Structure 1
Amino acid sequence: MLLKRIVFICCVLIAQNGLAQEHPNLILTKQGVNDIKAQLGNVPLFDATLAQVKEKVDAQILKGIDVPVPKDMAGGYTHEQHKLNYLTMQEAGVLYQILGDEKYAIYVRDMLMEYAKMFPGLPRHPQERSYARGKLFWQCLNDSVWLVYTSQAYDCVYNFLSKKEVKYIEKNLFKPMADFLSVDTPQFFNRIHNHSTWGNVAVGMIALVMDDDALVDRALYGIKDLKLDAGKDNDGGDIFVEGQKAGFLANLEEPFSPDGYYTEGAYYQRYAMYPFMIFGEALQNVKPEVKPFEHKNGVLLKGVDALMNLTDKDGEFFALNDSQKGMSYYTASLVSALDIAYYYGDRDPSLLSIAQEQGRVQLDQTGLAVAMDIRDGKAKPFDKKSLLLTDGADGDQGAISILRSTKNDDLTLVGKNAAQGLSHGHYDKLSISLFHEGNEVLQDYGLARFVNIEQKNGGGYLKENKTWAKQTIAHNTIVQDETSHFGGKYDVGSLHHSDMYVFDVENPDVQISSAKEVNAYPGTVMQRTTVMLNNESFEQPVLLDLMQVNSDKKHQFDLPFYYLGQVISTSFDYEKYQTLSTLGKDHGYQHLWKEGSGRSTTGDAALTWRSHDTFFTLTTTADAEDDLIFGRIGANDPEYNLRPDPVLIVRKNTDSALFASVLETHGSYNSVSEFSENAFSSISKLSVLKSGVDYSAIQITMMNGDEFVFIMSNSEASKTQKHELKLNAKVYTWTGVSYFKKQ
C-alpha cells in the first residue's frame, strides 16, 4: 500500500513539473529525429532542404536578435521583423533537433526571453484597423500565426531550457497569449472562419507543448457558453451566429464539403491548410485519440487533393472569391500540407510528382518519407481531370465545376456554381474563367489588395475590393439592371447558393457542366451550360457557353467577357470614343470606362484577340438591337489600385434570352520569324435555334460549310429521358440531357 502511494505521489510530481511527456513531440518526434539522423546524406531532396534552411538561419543568427515594439501595418518594418522572427525560430528549433548544435537552441531561448519580457506590458496594436487587434501585429490573425510557428520552436528546445526559464516563458508569454487570443478576443476565436482556425490552432499547439488539457479543449471546441451579439469583421462577414459551433473541429466540419472543397475558395483554403494540417499532425502525435485525419471521413486529406486540382497547368490556384493572382502550390504552406497528407494518407505516388516540382520538403518525418520515396523512384504524374467539387458542409450548396480538355491539357474551364463563401465571397453566381496553357483567357479579377505592400493601404484590403472586385460586373456572368446578385448584400447572399443541374464528363469529347441560379434576382431564373468540345473540325478544343435567362418582366441584362490580350479584329462595326464616361454609378459599374460600342447586323458578333502568341475568337449571338460594349477597368480609381483590363459586354433588353457563345483557341504567332499561322476563326455563323425554360439550342456553321447543332434540355436532366424537338421544320430526337451532332 505504501509503495502504491509513493508511486502515485511521484507521478503527480512528475506531471506538475512538466515531465509527463517527452519533447519534441509536436511535429518532430524523438523517433522522427532519430530516423532523420540515420538518413542524413542519403536523401537528396531532404538534404538539400536542410542545407537551405541552415544557410538562412545561420545568416539570421549573425544579425542578432531584434524584437521591436509593434507599430506597423502589414509590410512595415515591425510587422515584417516579427514575421521573420517566428519563421526563423521555428527553423532554428528544427535545426537544433536534427544537427544537435546548441547555438540554435540558444537563439530560440534568447528570442523567447525577449518576447516574454515585452509581452506583459504590450497593449493592443496601435493600428486600429482590425475588428480583432493583436498585440505583436495589427490583427490577432497574425499573432496566431506567430504562435503556431513559435510553439514548434518551443517544443524543439523545451528540454534545453531550465525549469526556471520554462516557468518564466509560459507565465509571461505563452499562457497570457493563449488567453489573449481566445477569451480576451472571442469575436476572433469563436467563429467559423480561416481567422479562427489559425486562432484555434495557435492555442491548441501551445497547449499541447505545455500539456494543458483545458487549453486543448478550448482549441478543439471553442469558448463554451459564450453569448454575444452578432458583429461584423473588416470584410462585412458575420462574427457571431446564435447557436453556432466553434473551435478547431467545427472549423473542420462547417467550411469543408465532403469533397474537401473549402467554401472561401482555393486562395484561403491554401492559407488555412497549413494550420489544419500542422495541428492535425500535432494531434496525431500527442493525442491520437482525436483522430484528426479520420474526422469527417478524412476531409483534411481530401482537402489537400482538392487544392491540387484547383490549379492551372502551372500550379497556380483558380481565382475563386478573394484571391491574389499567382498564388500556387509552390507556397511553403502547401509543401507542409502535401507532405503531411502523403504520410498520413494512402501514400499516393502522384503527390510525389508535385513534391518534386516544389523542390523542398518539411523537415520532419513526413518530409523524410516524401523525400525517400522520391529518391526511390516511386513518383507518378498527378493527373488533373475534369472534376466536380461540391460546396457546403453536407455537399448540398452547389459546386465548383472544372472541365479539362482530354485532347490535351491546354484548356481548362472553371465554373463557380457554389455558395457565398463566407466574408471572402463574391457576388458572382454562375461565373466562369478559362485557361489555356496555364494562361488566363477569360479572367476572374480576383481580389483588390496588395498583400504585404505597405504603400497600398498597409497591405490590407482596398476599398475597391468591395466597390469593384466583389461586385457581379467584375466577373464573367449575368448582371441584371446594373445591380449585383442579391443586391450586393452579404446577409442575403449567404442564405442562398446555386444548384448543379448536370455534370457529365463520361464522353471525353463532349463534357458538360450546367447549373441554375434562382435567387440572385427575384423573378429571374439563370441557367448556364458550358461544354468542353473536341471535334476534328476545330483546330483545338472549343468552349460552348449557353447562358439562358428567363424573367417575369423585361430587364437590362449584361454579360461581360473579361478577355486578356490585344484586340486583332471584330466582325462588327463599332465606334471607339474620344471622350470616356463610366458605365454606371454603383455596383462596380462606376469603375468601368466605356471605351466604345457597336452593334451587329448579322445576328452574331466575333472578337479575335492575341495573347501569349495564341489567337482566340469569341463568337457570340447578338441581335440588331443588342449593344456590344468595349469597356476597361479603372474609372473612379484615383490611386491606381485597379488593373486596367479590357472587357466586352453583350447587353440585351428583354425578359428572356439565350446568350450563346463559342470560344475558339487557334493558330499561333512567332515573334522571331514574325510568322502568323491560322489567325482567323473557323466559324462563319452562330445562331440561336431555341431559347426557353425547357430547351436551349444553337447552330454552328463552319467556314467550310459544316454545320453542328447543340441542344440542351433545361428542365429534365435524366440520362434515360427521350426528347423530340422541332426546330426550323426539322425534328430532332435524342435520349439524355443534350444533343450534339454534325448535320
Structure 2
Amino acid sequence: MKNLGVNLLSIMLVLMLVFSCKEQVSDTSVEVATTEAESGHPSLVLTKKGVRDIRANLGNIPIFDKSLAETKAEVDAEIEVGILVPVPKDFSGGYTHQRHKQNFYMMQKAGVLYQILDDEKYATYVKDMLMAYAKLYPTLPVHPQTRSYARGKLFWQCLNDANWLVYSAQAYDCVYDWLSPEDRDVLENNLFIPFAKFISEGNPQFFNRVHNHSTWGNVAVGMIALVMDNDALLEDALNGLKTDNLKVGMKDNDGGFIKVEGQKLGFYGNLDEPFSPDGYYTEGPYYQRYAMYPFLIFAEALQNVKPELNIFEYKNGVLIKAVDALINLSDADGDFFPLNDGQKGMSYYTSAVVTAVDIAYHFGGKNPELLSIAEKQDRVVLDDTGLSIALGIKEGLGKSFDKKSIELSDGQNGDEGAVGILRSEDLELVFKYAAQGLSHGHYDKLSYSLYEDGDEVLQDYGLARYVNIEQKGGGNYLKENKTWAKQSIAHNTLVQNETSHFMGKYEIGSIHHSNKYVFDVSNKNLQVASAKESNAYPGTEMQRTVVFINDESYAKPYLLDFMKVVSNTSNKYDFPFYYLGQLMQTNFEYNKLNTPTVFGKDNGYQHLYKEAEGVSFGDNAKLTWLSNGKFYSITSATAKGDKMILAKIGANDPDYNLRNEPAFILRKTNTKNTVFASVVESHGTYTARSEFAENAYSHVKHVEVVHDVAEYTAVKVETDNNKTKLFVISNLDNKAGSDHKVTIEGEVVSWTGAFTLKELK
C-alpha cells in the first residue's frame, strides 16, 4: 500500500506539473538555447538549466519521480507542523538538537521543491524558517553545553552549526530570486554573515584545521559565500583564515589538533592532506562517508558557479576517486569497514553517499558501475546530478560495481602505508597498515578483520559511541572509546608488555606509519599482502603477512596469517582474535574460572575479563565456533608454555557501554623473537530448520613455522586432503624479479619474486 501511495502521488505530481509549470518543454531532445552557467539563482547544486531539464523529464524517470514524491510527502508533513526554532540547550539526540537538525534538512528540501514544482508554499516555508532564525540568532550566546573544544550557538559544537549552514545555504539559493531585496538584507546581515564569521573568525581552532570538522566549516562558509557572491568569505573558505592567533603545536580538547607551521588550510588544505592519491581518506571510511557530502556538494557548487577553478581536476581528480575508494571500503552488504572510529552499520545507503554517487557520476565521466550502486540505493538527489543518474538507469546503461581485491594507499602522497583488501569466494579481509588517521585513529598497526557474505567473522570493534542516542553520554563519544576502543588490545594485532602501540599517545602515533611490503593479487588462488611496523614499540619490528590460499578440495579458501616479531629485548606478547559467535570446541584443555578475573590494569586490559586459560604443550591450538550458520576454526602454532586465554569484553564497565563479545588470546612470555602463525578457515554450515551440520570440523591438521631467519620465513600447512603446502616469504627483498634459494627441512626451495607457495610431497 505504501508503494501504491507513492506511485499515485508521483502521478499527481506529474499531472500538476503538466498544467501548472510556467516553463514547459514538450520534447526532451530539444536543446535549450542557453549556457550551462547562467546568471541568477539557483546556481549551487540546482541550476536553471537543470530545473528545466528535470521538469521536462518528470513522469518518465521512475527513480527520480519516486524520490520527488517521497520528498514532497516529507516536507508537506513538516509544513503542517509549523515553524519551530527553540532556544538551544541539548546535546546530540536531545529535542532542541534534533529540531534544529530537522529544520535545516527540511529547508533544503523545500527549496528544491519550490524550484521543481514552482509552488510558492515551499518558498514561503523557507522564508518563514530563515526569518525565524534571523530573529533568534542575534540573541544567542554560545551553546550552554560546554563539552566541545568549539561550541556552536544552535548546537553544542560548531560542527553541527556548520551542517546547518551548508544545507541552509542551498535553501537560500533556491529562493534567492523569489525573496525581496529587503528580505535578503535582513537574512544576510542578521543571520548568514554573522553565522559565517562566528564559525570561522570566532572559532579558528575549528575552522583553521585539517579534519572532517573543518571541512564542514570551510564548506559552510564557502556555500553561503557563493550564494551571496562574497569573495572575502569565499577566500577564507578555500584557503583558510590568514590570521588565527593560534600557536604552533596547539592541541584541542580531543588531543586531535596539532597546528603545524606552514600547513595548508581551508578547503584546499583538507583536499590535499587527508586524501591519498587513491582517494583513501586517512580518518577511515566512516568519516570519509561523513566528509564526502561537504567535499562533493561544495565541489559541485564551485563547478557550477566558478567553473574556471576546475575543482574536479584538483589533485588528479581525487574527489571522484574517493567515491570509488569509499565503495570499495564496504562489505558485501554495503556496510563500511569500521576502521578507526567507525560505527558499524553505516553504509553506502546513507544520504551522504547517495549524493556522492550522483555527483561522481555526473561530473566524473558517467561511470556505469555507479549506476548499479544508485539502483541499490533506490533514490537520487533532486538536482542536475540526480537527473543524470535517473536517465542513465532508465536507458539501461548500468554495469555491476565489481569490488575486487585492492590496495588503497594512505597519506597525502600515498607513501604512508595503506589499507589492503583481499577478496575471494565471499570472504573479505581488511588489512590495516596505514597512518594514524588523525584524531579518529586507533592504535592498531597491522591489524585486520575478516568478513564472509557481509557478516563479521573476526571483528574490528569500531568506536565506543551510540551516535545521537541521548541516554548514552548525550550521543557523543564515551570515555570507553579512549580506554578501550582505541587501545591495541581491542584489535586483532600484537600487543607487547600490555602496552598499546606508541604508548597510546596521539602525538607519537601521528608521526609514524606502517610500511607496505607486498600486495599481490595477480593470482586469484594465491593472494598475498604483507607489511611492516617498526615504531609501535621502539626496538621491536613486526611484519605481518596474510595469504588467501584456494585449495580446490574445499569450498572456501583458507587464510594463512603469520606475524614475525624481532626485538632487542625479551617481552610478553599477546595476540588476540576477536571472533564473533558461539564457541563450539577447542583441542586444548583449559581451566574455566568460576569467577572471571579482570585481565589487566590499563591500556584496555582493564575492560577484558579472563574467563578461562590453558597452557600449551607445544602442539597446535585450535578453536572452532559457529556464527550466522557457518563454522569457523583458528589453528595456531604454539610453543611449550604458551598460554591460550578465553576472554570477554565488559570489565570495569558500570554503565554497560561496551558489547560483551569474546576473544581468543595467545600469550607468549619472556620471548624476544618469534612468529605467531595461524590458519583461519570457513569450513561448514548449520541449518536450524533441518538441524543438520555439514563439515563442522576443521580441515587443517597442522600448522608449523619450519624456517625463520632474518632473510626468510616459511610456514607449513597440512590439511585433511593429504596435502601439505609450504609458504615462504623473503623478509628483506620484495622485488618481483629477484631470485631466491633456501634450504628448508633438507629440501632446496627456489623461486622468483617475494614469495612462493609449494606443495610438498
TM-score grouping bracket, smaller chain normalisation: over 0.9
In structure 1, the partner of 2:79 is 61
Correspondence for 2:9: none
- Give the secondary structure class of the aligned counterpart of 2:647: strand
For the residues of structure 2 that align with 1:447 and 1:612, how far apart are their CA atoms? 23
Letter in 1 for 2:732: S
The match for 1:699 among 703, 716, 719 is 716
1:236 and 2:255 aligned:
yes
Alpha-carbon shift at residue 325 of structure 1 (Å): 0.3
Cα drift, residue 239 of structure 1 = 4.5
Displacement after TM superposition at 1:492 (Å): 0.4
User: What SS does the corresponding residue of 1:453 show, helix, strand or coil?
Assistant: coil
| Structure 2 residue aligned with 1:352 | 371
Q: What SS does structure 1 have at the residue aligned with 2:66?
A: helix
**419, 440, 451: which one pairs with 2:467?**
451
2:360 aligned residue: 341
Contact 2:286 2:342 survives alignment (8 Å): yes
1:190 is the counterpart of 2:208: yes
Choose which of 172, 179, 183 in structure 2 pairs with 1:161: 179
Distance 1:438 1:486 in 2: 32
**Could you say which residue in structure 2 is the equivalent of 1:593?**
609
Q: Counterpart in 1 of 2:442?
A: 426
SS in 2 for 1:532: strand
CA distance in structure 2 between the aligned counterparts of 1:402 and 1:706, rounded to whole angstroms: 27
Structure 2 residue aligned with 1:679, among 667, 686, 696?
696
Distance 1:239 1:65, change over 3 A: farther
Q: 98, 113, 132: which is aligned to 1:80?
A: 98
- Rounded to whole Å, the distance in 2 between the matches of 1:110 and 1:553 is 70
Are residues 1:477 and 2:493 paired? yes
268, 272, 285: which one aligns with 2:291: 272
SS at structure 1 position matched to 2:176: helix
CA positional deviation for 1:694: 1.7
Equivalents in 2 of 1:358, 1:233: separation in Å? 37
Deviation readout 1:239-294 (Å, 9 max, x if unpaired): 42232221001100110000000000000000000000000000001011111100
8 Å contact kept, 2:553–2:721: no
Q: In the aligned structure 2, how far is the partner of 1:520 from the partner of 1:239? A: 20
Matched to 2:536, the amino acid is A
**Amino acid across the alignment from 2:101:** K
CA shift for structure 1 position 232: 2.6
Determine the C-alpha separation between the residues in 2 that align with 1:694 and 1:736.
Answer: 14
- Correspondence for 1:621 among 637, 642, 662: 637
Runs of 4+ in structure 1 off by over 3 angstroms are none
Amino acid at match of 2:239: Y
CA distance in 2, matches of 1:233, 1:452: 22
> 2-side partners of 1:692 and 1:108: how far apart?
70
Instruction: Map Cα deviations across residues 380-420 of structure 1 (whole Å, 9 max, x no partner).
Output: 10000010100000000000000011xx3x10001110000
Asked if 1:551 corresponds to 2:570, the answer is no
Measured in 1, the distance between the counterparts of 2:437 and 2:571 equals 28
1:575 Cα offset (Å): 1.1
> Per-residue deviation at 1:690?
1.4
Q: Say if 2:387 is the partner of 1:387.
A: no
- Show the counterpart of 2:533: 517
Given that 1:92 and 1:153 are in contact with CA atoms closer than 8 Å, whether structure 2 keeps it comes out as: yes
Q: Which moved more, 1:479-488 or 1:682-691?
A: 682-691
- For residues 463-515 of structure 1, give each alpha carbon's deviation from its aligned partner in whole angstroms, at most 9, with x where no partner exists: 00000000000000000000000000100000100000011111111010000
CA distance in 2, matches of 1:599, 1:609: 20
**1:317 match:** 336
Query: Structure 2: any 5+ residue segments left out of the alignment?
Result: 1-37
- Please tell me whether the aligned partners of residues 201 and 244 of structure 2 are also in contact (alpha carbons under 8 angstroms): no
**Structure 2 CA distance for aligned equivalents of residues 38 and 335 of structure 1:** 23
Q: Distance in 2 between matches of 1:21 and 1:381?
A: 39
Aligned partner of 2:549 in structure 1 is 533
Q: Aligned residue for 1:33?
A: 51
Could you tell me which amino acid in structure 2 is paired with residue 64 of structure 1?
Answer: G
Secondary structure of 1:294's match? helix
Please name the residue that 1:667 is paired with: 684
**Residue type at the aligned position of 1:33:** V
CA offsets 1:60-92 (integer angstroms, 9 cap, x no match):
000111000000000000000000000000000
> 3-state SS of the aligned residue for 1:272?
helix
Partner in structure 1 of residue 577 of structure 2: 561
Kindly provide the amino acid, as one letter, of the partner of residue 698 in structure 1: V
Match of 2:14 in 1: none
Partner of 2:12: none
Q: Secondary structure, in 3 states, of the residue corresponding to 1:667?
A: strand
**Distance across 2 between alignment mates of 1:676 and 1:447:** 35
What is the correspondence of 1:278-427 to structure 2 with a 5 Å cutoff?
A: 278-405=297-424, 408=425, 410-427=426-443
- The one-letter code matched in structure 1 to 2:718 is T
SS of the residue corresponding to residue 381 of structure 1 reads: coil
Q: Secondary structure at the match of 2:536?
A: coil
| Percentage of matched positions with identical amino acids | 61
Which residue number corresponds to residue 8 of structure 1?
Answer: none
Residue 741 of structure 2 is aligned to residue 724 of structure 1: yes
**Aligned counterpart, 1:102:** 120
Q: Which residue number corresponds to residue 484 of structure 2?
A: 468
**Can you list the C-alpha shifts for 1:201-239, whole angstroms capped at 9, x where unaligned?**
000000000010111111000001334123333431124
Task: State how many pairs are aligned.
Answer: 721
Secondary structure at 1:119 match in 2: helix
Alpha-carbon displacement from aligned partner over 1:664-713 (angstroms, at most 9, x marks no partner): 10111010010111101111111110123221111111223321111111
1:16 matched to which residue of 2?
none
| Aligned pair partner of 2:153 in 116, 135, 148 | 135
Q: CA RMSD in A?
A: 1.0
Counterpart among 634, 649, 671 of residue 633 in structure 1: 649
Q: Aligned equivalents of 1:675 and 1:346: distance in 2?
A: 50
2:588 paired with 1:572: yes
What is the one-letter code of the residue matched to 1:589? Y
Partner of residue 30, structure 2: none
1: CA distance, partners of 2:178 / 2:265:
36
Say whether residues 1:46 and 2:64 are aligned partners: yes
Shift in Å, 1:547? 0.5
* Corresponding residue number in structure 1 for 2:7: none
Do residues 688 (structure 1) and 688 (structure 2) align?
Answer: no
Secondary structure at 1:740 match in 2:
strand
Letter aligned with residue 323 of structure 2: V
Provide TM-score, normalisation by structure 1. 0.96
SS in structure 2 of the partner of residue 573 of structure 1 = coil
> By how many angstroms is 1:133 displaced?
0.0
> Structure 2 counterpart of 1:507, which letter?
N
Q: For 1:107-138, what per-residue CA distance to the aligned partner results, in whole angstroms no more than 9, with x for missing partners?
A: 00000000000001100000000000000000
Residue aligned with 2:703, SS: strand
**SS of 1:590 mapped into structure 2:** helix
Deviation at 1:602, TM superposition (A): 4.9
Q: Which amino acid aligns with 2:673?
A: S
Instruction: Name whichever of 72-81 and 599-608 sits farther off.
Output: 599-608
Query: Which amino acid in structure 2 is aligned with residue 740 of structure 1?
Result: L
Match for 1:486 among 499, 502, 519?
502
- Kindly provide the CA deviation profile for residues 628-665 of structure 1, in whole angstroms up to 9, marking residues without a partner as x: 11110000000000000100011112101110011110
Question: Contact conserved, 2:420 with 2:529, CA < 8 A, in 1?
Answer: yes
Amino acid at match of 1:664: E
For 1:7, the equivalent position in structure 2 comes to: none
Q: Structure 1: give runs of 5+ residues left out of the alignment.
A: 1-19
Report the secondary structure of 2:448's partner residue.
strand
